[in-house]
Structure 1
């Protein structure tokens, strides 16, 4: 029996007993949590799992505990967004500091990776079955008179610094952004679609900044997608943060997670991404495309990508494959996301595709001072290196790369030479120096140059300052420059 029907029955009983002067009071507000499990990815020896908690009640839930069992032979190897303890095959998971409060109608989630393929059983949330149960009817000490709730709206923010604390406030701030403004995120979870379409300027960029505990989540995609990605009424891209035609934006400090793609810059040159964390992403973490040239990503952390499409789970994606230029090429048909700098980032583990994928048609970038952890690279869609360079004239220096199993690993750095029209020296004219590579006894070369003949006029250069350890074959397959 539902709560409304039970209250109606109580009222009818009171009336029948002649208690006409009695007042049937409304029940006290209370949370009502359920939890559902889903696999986000799977491989031969394990899987990625996710529990989503939903509050179907009418009051905030301020904390939660989920318990479940895993069969023998299956164990949780890593987990996130939670505090996990284990007793034998029984697991107890409590909320992290940032996701304990779940508002009515809202959700929270946590995830984990396993060794073994057994699925959880016997799930409870706060002691009740995860699928929900009969609600408890309670009454407050005295009734309150009914009143009509006022309609709430989110005002358009103003000022040089705009502080936001909810998803609606952030969306309003993005829509009202002007050059020179800073949008400052409070700690907390922001769930929704966050799209920026207003340009900043060189002298007055627009900044979005917040602590790492300010977490952007997009549960999309939803609606009917246009033929080429563009902000469209009724369609949610599923991107965690999307810059579209919005040059001169600075994104600082916050976290993007649980999205189709992490941060996407389309036709948004001079984008600066600094100190962000992007993880638990279905596809790629950060993508500069549609000629988002002269941009920078630095001092950021990227992990656990490609949860749905492993072969498309790049850490940082520069430009677009020529097969996508019809959508993403706006400079003579080519996606000229040129002169992008990737500096001092930590990329991996469990970045399912390349740590950095440098696409054909781009040139002149700098990849410096990054740390690559190749554990968990999938090998799908030829994803088997830290960096795959199909662009021209890149400087790749001072990076440190390691690989340990599990994963599929061929070489540390690779070049490829896709043919395009118009002709472009794809995969040529790049320089490697001062990189340190540990190939884990699995990788063939630290730097594998696919073709020298295709780059005879603009050869790739590998300097002797590069070092390698635990390689099957050695430093490189081409002559080394002193």
Structure 2
């Protein structure tokens, strides 16, 4: 509406006061900085990384300081585009003379190299959490004139996260969201490092799964177990098993997009059928990367990258572990005394390099899975505990199709794929089709079948559509089937 000049003089004194005071009530423009960590390169003994410092406020920032801690055994070895000071495991990066000003909406970056595999924790930017958040409230300038007549009641505890979508940006928020998760809910991770014990125990449903999703720059870490737990792992108050992410009795979950690193074990799925792991990045793990265990049937691992496993125990550094060895069925054999993690599909993943044990270890007692479209990089296979192949199939009735495997030093390599028969009927009835294998001049067979007599009536089948190069033996040690 246009106000004519003749109306302005008619404004009352009170109206004029309102006009004068209104600008004073607007919020002052201010900078609001976040800092996002990302690894830019990885090698056997360390990695390169950067922080992106972004101003999400509505005024320019005149300077920034990013601080974080690294776990023992890891240290910053060099840095650039910042001024760095380090005290023990604590590292402080202040802006250089040319990149301190950050306009509203703009981003500046600084980089560094780390010796060791630990990733940053306890990150702050200008004293606030790197993921963003308000500053602590200032205390009152003067104490109250007299004490209250009665002690104040305890503040109410924060309500559990609710709503169909729950956004989290700290480890504490993620732990709370997982504890309060309900069917149909999606938990979204902001970029940043989450160091803690992350476990889901609430069942989803087929119609309403529970989803945890985030970008690759959302990094979950859990480098060491703590407390005392049972000999057969089950969720126990006060005990942290050191898993990067643990699902226990939690069917119909979906984990998507984020990173799990610097943990004793990567992702462990216990007694949780119909779980989908999609697009995860799992690396620098002490033991195995991903484990479907305790009859976690009908799961899917898809489009994920798994590398640098077995950093603490190479003999237990499988990339993907399906089921349990029969020696562990007393713990994990919850279906008729057997770990029936059946029909798990491992699809279109990139596994290796520096997966210290098998890229996929298929245990006896499991049935009917699919291993298709994966890429295996055999560099770094340690050869410990007879782990000297990309895939060891002790399960029954698996389809292994359309995978590509390579091997090059360093490492110990015997065959591309192997079968074994630790219990009656295991390691039988498996089918290989359309796989391409480069054994690097070290491996004997693309597919080595340990026994045919133990699979009488349910033989393993290797089709002629498979191919092999640089083998000391050939495609397989059994008769090839046309097709």
Q: Secondary structure at the match of 2:368?
A: coil
- Measure how far apart 1:107 and its partner are: 2.6
Task: Kindly name which structure, 1 or 2, has the bigger radius of gyration based on alpha carbons.
Answer: 2
Counterpart for residue 466 of structure 1: 466
- Measure how far apart 1:234 and its partner are: 1.3
- Measure how far apart 1:457 and its partner are: 1.4
Matched, 1:259 2:260: no
Q: Secondary structure at the match of 1:126?
A: strand
Counterpart for residue 477 of structure 2: 477
- Measure how far apart 1:357 and its partner are: 0.2
Counterpart for residue 428 of structure 2: 428
Distance 2:458 2:206 in 1: 33
Q: Normalized against structure 2, the TM-score is what?
A: 0.73
Matches within 5 A, 1:263-412: 263-412=267-416
Number of residue pairs matched by the alignment: 376
Distance 2:207 2:444 in 1: 47
Quickly say closer, same or farther: Cα 1:342–1:307, change in 2 above 3 A: same
- Measure how far apart 1:404 and its partner are: 0.4
- Measure how far apart 1:101 and its partner are: 7.8
Quickly say closer, same or farther: Cα 1:404–1:112, change in 2 above 3 A: farther
Q: Secondary structure at the match of 2:328?
A: helix
Distance 2:328 2:476 in 1: 31
- Measure how far apart 1:63 and its partner are: 11
Distance 2:87 2:327 in 1: 49
- Measure how far apart 1:473 and its partner are: 0.6
Match of 2:69 among 68, 84, 107: 107
Kept in 1: contact 2:36–2:191 (CA 8 A): no
Kept in 1: contact 2:171–2:196 (CA 8 A): yes
- Measure how far apart 1:82 and its partner are: 2.9
Distance 1:132 1:273 in 2: 34
Match of 2:183 among 179, 182, 185: 179
- State the 4+ residue runs in structure 1 displaced beyond 2 angstroms: 60-64, 76-83, 95-98, 100-103, 106-113, 125-133, 143-148, 150-155
RMSD: 3.0
Provide, for residues 55-89 of structure 1, a one-character-per-residue CA deviation record: whole Å limited to 9, x for no partner: xxxxx99799xxxxxxxxxxx96565534xxxxxx
Distance 2:260 2:390 in 1: 22
Q: Secondary structure at the match of 2:229?
A: coil
Distance 1:470 1:146 in 2: 80
Distance 1:151 1:78 in 2: 49
- Measure how far apart 1:225 and its partner are: 1.8
- Measure how far apart 1:219 and its partner are: 2.8
Kept in 1: contact 2:69–2:89 (CA 8 A): no
Matched, 1:82 2:48: yes
Kept in 1: contact 2:70–2:89 (CA 8 A): no
Counterpart for residue 416 of structure 1: 420
Distance 1:304 1:79 in 2: 10
Match of 1:194 among 198, 207, 215: 198
Distance 2:241 2:367 in 1: 28
Distance 1:170 1:132 in 2: 24
- Measure how far apart 1:112 and its partner are: 8.7
Q: Secondary structure at the match of 2:309?
A: coil
Matches within 5 A, 1:216-235: 216-235=220-239
Matches within 5 A, 1:130-141: 130=88
Q: Secondary structure at the match of 1:171?
A: helix
- Measure how far apart 1:147 and its partner are: 8.1
Quickly say closer, same or farther: Cα 1:180–1:444, change in 2 above 3 A: same
Distance 1:152 1:346 in 2: 47
Kept in 2: contact 1:154–1:169 (CA 8 A): no
Matched, 1:439 2:439: yes
Quickly say closer, same or farther: Cα 1:456–1:162, change in 2 above 3 A: same
Provide, for residues 84-141 of structure 1, a one-character-per-residue CA deviation record: whole Å limited to 9, x for no partner: xxxxxxxxxxx5449x9866xx63359899xxxxxx99xxx935564889xxxxxxxx
Quickly say closer, same or farther: Cα 1:449–1:235, change in 2 above 3 A: same
